[in-house]
């Protein structure tokens, strides 16, 4: 009895061991129960079902997760910044588009910075950061995409989708023929004024590099889809891979200079607006740098800031001392009048400079009309934004 108690005690002290000695023993397979005064225990480690993951795969999955988390954080910060910008402009944050964001930034920074690299910008993270493929396989090495082993799964999946759309249209055409109806020719997809996206843009969209022959296969497949009588059923799919042709006729027309009695070229710009000021500006070439404002010289403005506003377009275009300026202005204060004349000078100088200089003037904000007005005082406030001092007692 003491021997049996000692054996059971040793059995209870044993951890992580297997208590069956031999599963292949025919006696153990039967339903008989064998009794013994001793229990034989053999230490056998438990089998743990673990799979080793290579360091390269771990690093790959970790980089993919970090990139996804980074993009998620950037999207959250972009939405917060867009909401703040919409509140500053008094717009609805829910309907504030990227075009509204660009216009707001141009409004808040009208002319202070004219270098392309220095101008502030607020774009979606998808446009700022280059697209990267997500994790293509799990820790066991099993690929997520069914076309992973083609080398370009996204591209071949696109070709597969095009063929699937064509097959759907073929089935629809057969059903309509059985009913005795034909496709409406007036609803046919018309790609006039559109073109297929170029190879570089398709590569960015697919996040894959493709060869020229593969891009030609894509174009041929899309042409077959568009040529189908029922292609108008797949308009959304087709227009996703098109882009409009550039319309050169929408370029702003620059007026040609006229000739005065003295044989000099001149150009006059009317309706120069700034706040409540209204002005018209005439520039004559060649000139000696003479500036006349309501019959007076530049000392018409007492403040140096207003005078700098007047001559800034001339300095920027290297036309200071080469032209004569005549301006008539009325209404508003000194700041509004100077701004109206400055815009009129810049618009008139377009007729005397080349296209590159016009582009630099546009980037500098000289050709952008400033529609800002003085904000009215609000009831119950000390000013437009200023509040009365709150006192508890």
Q: At which residue do the structure tokens 């919409």 appear?
A: 86
CA-wise closest residue to 350 among 288, 277, 286, 269: 269
Q: Is the pLDDT of residue 256 over 80?
A: yes
Average pLDDT rounded to a whole number, residues 281-302: 92
Distance CA 297, CA 295 (A): 7
| Strand duo 324-330 + 291-293: pairing | parallel
The more confident residue out of 75 and 115 is 75
Distance CA 83, CA 91 (A): 9
Tell me which of 63-72, 80-89, 202-211, 277-286 is least confident.
63-72
Prior bond of 286 cis (ω within 30°): yes
Prediction pTM value: 0.43
Lowest mean per-residue pLDDT among 225-229, 298-302, 371-375: 371-375
The predicted-structure confidence for 293-337, as pLDDT tens digits, reads as follows 999 999 999 999 999 999 999 999 999 989 999 999 999 999 999
List, in order, residues 6 or more apart from 154 with CB less than 8 Å away. Answer: 206, 207, 208
pLDDT per residue over 69-82, tens digit each? 888 888 898 889 88
Q: 325, 291 in Cβ contact below 8 A? A: yes
- pLDDT for residue 136: 63
CATH node for 258-364: 3.30.230.10
Distance CA 122, CA 125 (A): 9
Rg (CA), the chain: 38
Domain boundaries, the chain: 1-46, 55-128, 148-248, 258-364
Q: What is the mean pLDDT of the chain?
A: 79
Q: Check the CA dihedral 269-271-275-277 and report its sign.
A: positive
- Determine the 3-state secondary structure of 148 from DSSP: helix
pLDDT at 223: 92
| Phi, psi (degrees; rounded to nearest 5) at 325 | -125, 135
d(CA 194, CA 190): 9
Lowest-confidence range among 52-66, 215-229, 284-298?
Answer: 52-66
Over the stretch 139-195, which tens digit does the pLDDT of each residue have? Answer: 666 777 778 788 888 899 899 999 999 999 999 989 988 888 888 878 888 888 888
C-alpha to C-alpha distance for 273 and 346, rounded to whole angstroms: 13
Give the pLDDT band of residue 6 (cuts 50, 70, 90).
Answer: very low
Higher model confidence: residue 28 or residue 90?
90
> Which residue would you say has higher pLDDT here, 129 or 216?
216
More confident residue, 63 or 322: 322
Sign of CA dihedral 65, 69, 72, 78: negative
Residue 179 is classified by DSSP as H
- Residue 330 β-bridge partners: 278
Contacts of 169 (CB under 8 A, 6+ apart): 225, 228, 229, 230, 231, 233, 234
Residue 287, classed as helix, strand or coil, is coil
CA distance 386 to 377: 9
CB atoms within 10 A of CB 126: 12
Indicate the range of 26-40, 136-150, 252-266 predicted with least confidence.
26-40
CA distance from start to end of the chain:
92
Mean pLDDT of 202-225: 90
Q: How far is CA 55 from the centre of its chain?
A: 35
Distance CA 238, CA 383 (A): 54
Q: Does the pLDDT value for residue 21 go beyond 50? A: no
What confidence tier does 100 reach under pLDDT thresholds 50, 70, 90?
confident
Structural tokens at position 311: 């001559």
**Position 3 pLDDT exceeds 50:** no
- State the average pLDDT over residues 9-35: 42
Percent of the chain exceeding pLDDT 90 equals 31
Burial of 338 (0-12, 13-18, 19+ CB in 10 A): buried
- Between CA 291 and CA 306 the distance in angstroms is 13
Q: Decide which of 361 and 108 is more confident.
A: 361
């Amino acid at each position: 009895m003491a021997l049996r108690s000692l054996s059971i005690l040793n059995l209870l002290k044993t951890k992580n061991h297997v208590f069956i000695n031999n599963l292949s023993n025919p006696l153990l397979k039967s339903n008989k129960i064998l009794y013994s005064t001793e229990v034989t225990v053999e230490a056998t480690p438990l089998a743990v079902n673990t799979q080793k993951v290579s360091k390269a795969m771990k690093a790959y999955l970790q980089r993919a997760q970090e990139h996804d988390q980074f993009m998620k954080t950037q999207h959250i910060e972009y939405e917060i910044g867009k909401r703040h910008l919409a509140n500053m402009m008094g717009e609805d944050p829910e309907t504030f588009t990227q075009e509204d964001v660009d216009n707001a930034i141009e409004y808040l920074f009208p002319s202070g910075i004219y270098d392309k690299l220095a101008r502030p910008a607020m774009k979606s993270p998808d446009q700022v950061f280059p697209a990267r493929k997500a994790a293509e396989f799990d820790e066991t090495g099993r690929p997520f995409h069914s076309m992973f082993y083609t080398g370009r799964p996204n591209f071949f999946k696109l070709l597969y989708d095009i063929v699937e759309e064509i097959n759907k249209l073929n089935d629809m055409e057969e059903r309509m023929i059985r009913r005795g109806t034909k496709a409406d020719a007036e609803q046919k997809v018309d790609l006039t004024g559109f073109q297929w996206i170029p190879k570089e843009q398709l590569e960015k969209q697919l996040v894959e590099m493709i060869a020229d022959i593969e891009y030609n296969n894509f174009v041929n497949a899309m042409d077959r889809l568009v040529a189908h009588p029922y292609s108008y059923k797949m308009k959304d799919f087709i227009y996703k891979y098109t882009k409009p042709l550039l319309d050169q006729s929408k370029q702003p027309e620059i007026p040609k200079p006229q000739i005065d009695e003295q044989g000099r070229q001149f150009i006059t710009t009317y309706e120069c607006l700034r706040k409540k000021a209204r002005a018209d500006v005439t520039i004559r070439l060649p000139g000696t740098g003479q500036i006349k404002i309501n019959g007076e010289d530049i000392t018409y403005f007492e403040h140096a800031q207003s005078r700098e506003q007047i001559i800034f377009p001339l300095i920027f275009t290297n036309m200071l001392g080469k032209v004569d300026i005549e301006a008539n202005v009325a209404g508003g204060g000194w700041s509004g009048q100077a701004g109206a004349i400055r815009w009129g000078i810049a618009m008139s100088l377009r007729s005397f400079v080349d296209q590159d200089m016009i582009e630099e003037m546009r980037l500098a904000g000289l050709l952008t009309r400033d529609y800002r007005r003085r904000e009215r005082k609000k009831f119950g406030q000390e000013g437009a934004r200023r509040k009365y001092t709150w006192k508890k007692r």
